Every structure is written in structure tokens, then in C-alpha cells.
Chains A and B, each alone.
Chain A
Amino acid sequence: NAGVTQTPKFRVLKTGQSMTLLCAQDMNHEYMYWYRQDPGMGLRLIHYSVGEGTTAKGEVPDGYNVSRLKKQNFLLGLESAAPSQTSVYFCASSYSPGLAGADKYFGPGTRLTVL
């Protein structure tokens, strides 16, 4: 049981290049999330998905797109990378929250640098 995995772990892009970050979970979770973490700002939600085939915008969605074609995978795309997107990106997943709230399981992160 690998939990939540992210590919790649590190990446350096030039301004204007595109890339896709892959998140995979093997816990059969319905919900998946993409966050970015910047110094002094905590984690901010980019996009999330409440099930296969669904996506929704979070707090900072501009410049990113996502897809959830399979329940276990959640892809984050940067169509034209900008230096402001230099960050550490975390994926997370959880089962449907209900009233008790759901524990989120986080991946190890992807460190992205845009030059």
C-alpha cells in the first residue's frame, strides 16, 4: 500500500514551458486535492476533485488545469509556466468526509522551479 505518490519529485522549467504533475493514490479515495506551498504562506488549495470525472477550483486556480479521468489519478497541468509558479506542490486524498470530517493523506511533494 503506497498511499499517495507524486511524480516527479523535482523539476526545473523555463518560462513558457508546459508540464504535468501526476498524483496517484491506492486507497480508493473519492476526494483528491492539489495544494501549493510557499514560504510564509502555508498551503493553498489550487484545485480539487470530489470523484472521477469531476474537478473544481480552489483558492488559487489561475494558470493551472486538472483532470481526473481515473479515480486513482489526479493530474495537475501547467500550460505556460511562469516564475510565480515556483513552489512545492502537494497532492492529497481523502474518502468522502461526511459529518466527521475526513483525514487527508498527503504525498511527498514535487519541488518545481520556473526560471
Chain B
Amino acid sequence: AQSVTQPDIHITVSEGASLELRCNYSYGATPYLFWYVQSPGQGLQLLLKYFSGDTLVQGIKGFEAEFKRSQSSFNLRKPSVHWSDAAEYFCAVAPFGNEKLTFGTGTRLTIIP
């Protein structure tokens, strides 16, 4: 069965600084990979996804993620964070052609002025 690990429970970043959130997955083949963001009191919103092709994917709100097969990683990055980026971020994986997402436990992002 697939699994997802987000090693950082909580990250604090200064506004304007760069950001990288880590995600490692375990799966026998190349899965679909997703990043979702959850603002306080809200549902999840899809930031970006990868299923094939270019390993660097661009998403909404200036986020990008890079798929590295050799490291089984799909880390999320943003060059300069804004206070509005404070939220919880979830990495998720689904087998190819399958709708059953497995979520990581999430990383809470705090932005300081």
C-alpha cells in the first residue's frame, strides 16, 4: 500500500523568505502526487499535481513542486512567502488511474513579519 511522509509538523518562515516543504512517498511505481492547502476553517484546495512528464510542476499561488524519483520525494517550494500563505499543507499520493488518495499528516506553516 502507498504511504506519504511529511517529516515537518510545523515550520515558521519570515515573510519574503523562501519555503520548502518536504514530502516523501512509498509506492511501487510512479504514482499521482498532489499538494493541497488548507486555510483555517476551510476545506482543502489543490495547489498542484504531478502524474507524468516534466518533473517540475507549477501550481497556483506561485507554488511549484519537483518530483525526484530517485529520492521518492515531491517537495513543495515557493521563492518568497506572503503572510496569506499561512496554512496547513498536505501532500497526497494515489496509484496510477486510481482515485483513492492517501494523505500525509500535514505541515503547518506559520509566517512571521
Interface size in chain A (residues, C-beta < 8 A): 26
A45 within 8 A of B: yes
B105 within 8 A of A: yes
B67 within 8 A of A: no
Given A42-B105, A43-B90, are A108 and B99 neighbors across the interface (CB < 8 Å)?
no
> A43 contacts which of B45, B46, B103 (Cβ < 8 Å)?
B103
Task: Report the minimal beta-carbon distance from A111 to chain B, rounded to whole angstroms.
Answer: 9
Contact mask for chain A residues 53-84; partner B; CB cutoff 8 A; 1 contact, 0 none = 00000110000000000000000000000000
A94 touches B99 (CB 8 A): yes
Give chain B's interface secondary structure class. Answer: loop
Q: Which residues in B have some Cβ–Cβ distance to A below 8 Å?
A: 4, 9, 32, 34, 36, 41-46, 49, 51, 90, 94, 96-101, 103-106
List 30 A–B pairs whose Cβ atoms lie within 8 Å, in order of A's numbering.
A31-B99, A40-B9, A40-B105, A41-B105, A42-B104, A42-B106, A43-B44, A43-B101, A43-B103, A44-B103, A48-B100, A90-B43, A90-B44, A92-B43, A97-B97, A97-B99, A99-B96, A99-B97, A100-B51, A101-B32, A101-B49, A102-B99, A104-B44, A104-B101, A106-B36, A106-B43, A106-B44, A107-B43, A109-B42, A109-B43
